[in-house]
Amino acid sequence: MGKEQNLETTKKLGEAVSSGDLQVLHNIFSANVVEHDPAPGQGKGPEGYIKLFTMMRTAFPDLKVTVEHIVQDENNVAMAYKIHGTHKGDFMGIAPTGKTFEARGMQIGRYENGKIVERWGSSDELGLVKQLGATLDTGKGLLEKLVG
């Protein structure tokens, strides 16, 4: 059941982000999840992910995650995905542009008891910002936000 449960958890993650039902993230991430690649200002545990995706969904209310490829073993799920949406709210100091974006990302999650306990990931934040028509000096401290 481990592999099937982990795959189901991964699917629920994409559904939660796409739907905005972010409280579900408490059932997806362990309270002590180790995040190796946190987003700027993300914070710890499930609440950190809720904060991150609340900010993303405020900036891009129609935000959707599309999983393109999944590879897994007993304890790990790796996925390639696309995120896309329309810029209708502030994003990292960039005023709404009404432009759409599409960016790719990769994530590896290590699972225990059906929850993500450790995560590595990368997404094309710079590509997203460029698609909005912004440059690194558009938003106050944008470069620092993107590179930590």
Q: 3-state SS string over the chain?
A: CHHHHHHHHHHHHHHHHHHCCHHHHHHHEEEEEEECCCCCCCCCHHHHHHHHHHHHHHHCCCCEEEEEEEEECCCEEEEEEEEEEECCCCECCECCCCCEEEEEEEEEEEEECCEEEEEEEEECHHHHHHHCCCCCCCCCCHHHHHHC
Residue 134 has a pLDDT of 82
* Structure confidence by residue, pLDDT tens digits, 92-145: 889 999 999 999 999 999 999 999 999 999 999 889 999 999 876 655 555 455
Residue 92 has a pLDDT of 86
* Structure confidence by residue, pLDDT tens digits, 31-41: 999 999 998 88
Per-residue pLDDT, averaged over 62-89, amounts to: 96
> Which residue in the block uniquely carries the two structure tokens 């914070």?
43
What is the percent of the chain with per-residue pLDDT over 90, rounded to a whole number? 82
Structural domains of the chain, with CATH: 2-147 (3.10.450.50)
Q: Say if CB 31 and CB 48 are below 8 A apart.
A: no
Asked whether residue 148 carries a pLDDT value surpassing 90, the answer given is no
Say what the pTM is.
Answer: 0.87
> Which residue in the block uniquely carries the two structure tokens 């558009």?
138
Q: Say if CB 40 and CB 145 are below 8 A apart.
A: yes
